[in-house]
Amino acid sequence: MTNLPKEPGVYELANVTQQVIFLGGCQNLDLRLHQHLYAKDPCLSRAWHFRFEASGEPDQRLKELLDEYRNEHGKQPD
């Protein structure tokens, strides 16, 4: 696994067809992905792609991304 930044940011998990299944925000991107992996998060069983964006304001950026997703798809990510 590629080393991720140990800084705040937002991330998304997407399935094999790159449909977003989860959007999240955190204070440490590297730690949060590892938490998903080691907890055997059920969401990860469908995840094939992980994208992230470092952000000094992860809560605000996550809200923006969720609003964009809802506006485009009419619902929250699966």
Question: Mean pLDDT of residues grouped by 10 in the chain (78 residues)?
Answer: 86 92 94 81 79 96 97 92
Residues contacting 1, CB < 8 A, separation 6+: 33
pTM for the full model? 0.85
The predicted pLDDT at position 12 comes to 93
Residue-level pLDDT at 59: 97
